[in-house]
Chain A
């Protein structure tokens, strides 16, 4: 998930209150990144390399 994980890091850094950066929701998102990428690629919403990268 080299393409998406850095985007999530940047999102948390820029948009999330520092007091909430360690929230469980971001662990939940990370645990599902691969599944989400597979779904987006399967639907033809995202580039094929998203699932491979």
Chain B
């Protein structure tokens, strides 16, 4: 199966600068050498997290400072070149200078209008379907630090876009093995 994602500089915005440290949602990783998308990721929640802070975590992860990082296929596929822990069997490139992070679908969690647009069910005024079941189930999930239903909806939205963009990446290029929706499925400790 081919990638259903295009690579168009006009429409994909690099996750850089101050806005990277404001925006949450779904981000995408581009392999600059092979010229293909290799992963989608999700970042939401409080205390304030952002695509920029998540990117910094990935940079640290690629150095394999922790045992958990060494079990990540993402980091093993694109390790930091200075790390002694990677293997040539799994490596597809090096982290530094060979991967670029782009915004997928992101939002400013402090922008009430944007959050309304996400959290209000269609067809009232929002863009997403929020069934009674989805809202009830979300209400019962414990996202650390985020107790309100709206905050939980933003978590679910991040997972939703992460999984959708994951589906659009060519399976042969996709280095993620995650099922997505880890917190909702009761899966913890996943470093990808």
CB-nearest residue of chain B relative to A49? B4
In the assembled complex, which residues on chain A have CB atoms less than 8 Å from the CB atom of B129?
28, 31-32, 35
Name the distance in Å between B121's Cβ and chain A's nearest Cβ.
Answer: 10
Contact B127 A39 (CB under 8 A): yes
CB-CB contacts of B135-176 with A at 8 A, as 1s and 0s? 001000000000000000000100111011111100100000
Which residues in A have their C-beta under 8 angstroms from that of B181?
23, 25
Asked whether, in the complex, the Cβ of A43 is within 8 Å of the Cβ of B11, the reply is yes
Contact between B128 and A45, CB atoms less than 8 A apart: no
A8 at interface (Cβ–Cβ under 8 A)?
Answer: yes
Q: Determine the chain B residues whose CB is within 8 A of the CB of A44 once the complex forms.
A: 6, 8, 10-11
A28 touches B131 (CB 8 A): yes
Interface bits A16-39 vs B (CB < 8 Å: 1, else 0)? 110010011101110111011001
Nearest CB in chain A: distance from B173 CB, A: 13
Are A25 and B105 CB-contacts (below 8 A) given A32-B128, A44-B8, A46-B4?
no
| Residues of chain A within 8 A of B11, CB atoms compared | 43-45
Q: Which residues of B contact A3 (CB under 8 A)?
A: 4
A interface residue numbers (CB < 8 A to B): 3-4, 7-8, 10-12, 15-17, 20, 23-25, 27-29, 31-33, 35-36, 39-40, 43-47, 50
User: What 10 new A-B contacts, CB under 8 Å, besides A11-B167, A32-B128?
Assistant: A7-B168, A16-B179, A17-B179, A23-B184, A25-B180, A39-B127, A40-B168, A45-B165, A46-B168, A47-B4
